[in-house]
Structure 1
Amino acid sequence: MRGIEQIPWLYDALMAVSDACGLARWRRRLVGGAAGRTLEVGCGTGRNLPLYPAGLAVIGIDPDPAALRYARRRAPRVPLLAARVEALPFRPGTFDSVVSSLVFCSVADPERGLAEIRRVLRPGGELRMLEHVRHPQPRWAALQDLIQPAWTKVAGGCHPNRATESTVEQAGFRIEEAGRAARGVMRRFAARLRPDHK
């Protein structure tokens, strides 16, 4: 059974509702801070792609060719590739910025995906993320744990209870406080590689 994330027209419609309820503002801030050569991982149907600053060199990847067809219509000039974040087809140090928007909840191997992002970022490069995460209050986190198996199946791989911020920090990134935003389970932040990380 395909989940919501594997049905592009349905996922895109749900994202349109979320954008109308305020997510679009978070998206604009997320991509507005990208600089230099930029990779968007898990670009999906391409909702972020038209929002990047003019003249920015952006490449989008997503594992779902059907979603990429939507993205290509939305942003015809952006190069798009079918690829997974766990196996990025780029040389080390290729990008100044990597952007991830509502992706790491459904990445099969988040640690591997972050290691690949670390590899393709140039020294001093920036990871910019917009993700939903494990709720900070234990009772709500317990509810996320309870619904996770069914939710993951229905949504097509989404894990509502992932502690993505902690995973990012364990992968060798330092989350910057400047520009960090949190509301409920939503987080938007930028992170840079820690120079001491091996």
Structure 2
Amino acid sequence: MAKLPKPPKSFPVKPAIPTRRALPLHKQTPRAQPHAEPSLRRPDQTPKEAWQKVWSARPKISDLQRLSDAELKSAQHQAKLRRWRQWPMFGIGLVAFGLGMYGVMLWASLSSDVDFKDLPEDLSDRFDREAEGYDEKVDMSEMLLFLTSKRKKLAEKAKGHVLEVAVGTGRNIPYYKTKQCATVTLLDSSGPMLAVAKRKWNDTHKEYFSRVFFKQQSAVDPIVPPYGAQDGYDTVIQTMGLCSTPEPVKLLQNIERSTKEDGQILLLEHGKSHYEWLNDMLDKTAPAHADEHGCWWNKDIGKIVEKSGLEVVDIKRYNFGTTWWLELKPRKGTRQSVTEIVADVQPSPSIVRSESPATEKPWWSLWR
């Protein structure tokens, strides 16, 4: 007898899962791809890292040599080239704009006719008038002449007890290495300029504010060093100061008396050029420039240093010879004691003492 087939097994039927209503295409959000490429810029990426990533993606000559003709003509490669061609054009445009602005300023100086006889000997009121906007006025010209890097290099050489003469608005202050400076004395004859320098020091080296002394006085008057520097300053700095004083030789000799015999005097100045055609232009525009800025930019810095008698350690010239870098040191036996200087000449009533008097021992010397 034939066997009957077994009935099929029955499985419980699960209830159907209700499906959501399909959204329109414009309201649907794309799902995250598990292997999607990482974003070019992470939220925690620093500007330096972002720039390094962009720079690493630049077109290289080695890459171009490996690409085929079809790859070189591809839309992706052409877009990459167009994007990178914008940077040189931007740089060229920026330089052209700067040179154009400098040319306009030079033309304005050449076209201005100022009589030398009408100018007073003392032009310090120009600095008082331009103190607040001085940095913005000279930023462009110093950038074109690459003076910022030279200021930085000069200020970084300061060590020990430091004196900066004709500090102005303190354009060298951000570059001081304060850890290698025992004290810093900032001196200028312009009160408004010195006030700007004081704010700048407070913004950049606030933790070393107790080590700085601000003096409003002329650099040709006797300079009294702070406590602990009775033998003189270890470093004296001056940038663009000989052009604004009617007695540059006397100023240098006074600096020499304020410096240790083994100290250093660092100058960054502007003056006459190597070329006569440029000197003629400087001579022609000097009265107008002095009338506006209080600075005579046609002085012969070499002759001034020679007359002062200071010993030249190193001298360099830039920008057709108009920018002078000088490293000097005082002559042996020229250093006078502070008591002799004070006894010979009465102090000027215009001197403004800093918060810590120069003749008293400051509180911070207890932990030095």
TM-score normalised by L of structure 2: 0.49
| CA distance in structure 2 between the aligned counterparts of 1:142 and 1:192, rounded to whole angstroms | 32
Q: Deviations over 1:38-76 (max 9, x none)?
A: 100011111112211122121100111101111111003
Change (3 A) 1:169 1:5: farther
| CA distance in structure 1 between the aligned counterparts of 2:280 and 2:142, rounded to whole angstroms | 27
1:1-198 alignment to 2 at 5 Å?
2-3=125-126, 6-21=129-144, 22-55=146-179, 56=181, 57-76=183-202, 77=209, 78-90=212-224, 93-156=231-294, 158-177=295-314, 180-184=316-320, 185-195=322-332
Q: CA deviation at 1:174?
A: 2.2
Deviates more, 1:42-51 or 1:164-173: 164-173
Change (3 A) 1:181 1:31: farther
| CA distance in structure 1 between the aligned counterparts of 2:268 and 2:151, rounded to whole angstroms | 8
8 Å Cα contact 1:4-1:154 kept in structure 2: no
Q: Which has the higher contact order (CA 8 A, sep 6+)?
A: 1
Q: CA deviation at 1:19?
A: 4.6
What secondary structure sits across from 2:133 in the alignment?
helix
**Percent identity between the two aligned chains:** 23
What secondary structure sits across from 2:327 in the alignment?
strand
TM-score normalised by L of structure 1: 0.88
8 Å Cα contact 1:93-1:119 kept in structure 2: no
8 Å Cα contact 2:194-2:216 kept in structure 1: yes
Change (3 A) 1:88 1:52: farther
Q: 5+ residue gaps in structure 2?
A: 1-122, 203-208, 336-368
RMSD, aligned CA: 2.3
| CA distance in structure 2 between the aligned counterparts of 1:70 and 1:159, rounded to whole angstroms | 23
| CA distance in structure 1 between the aligned counterparts of 2:332 and 2:276, rounded to whole angstroms | 33
Q: 5+ residue gaps in structure 1?
A: none
Aligned length: 196
Name whichever structure is richer in strand by fraction. 1
Name whichever structure is richer in helix by fraction. 2
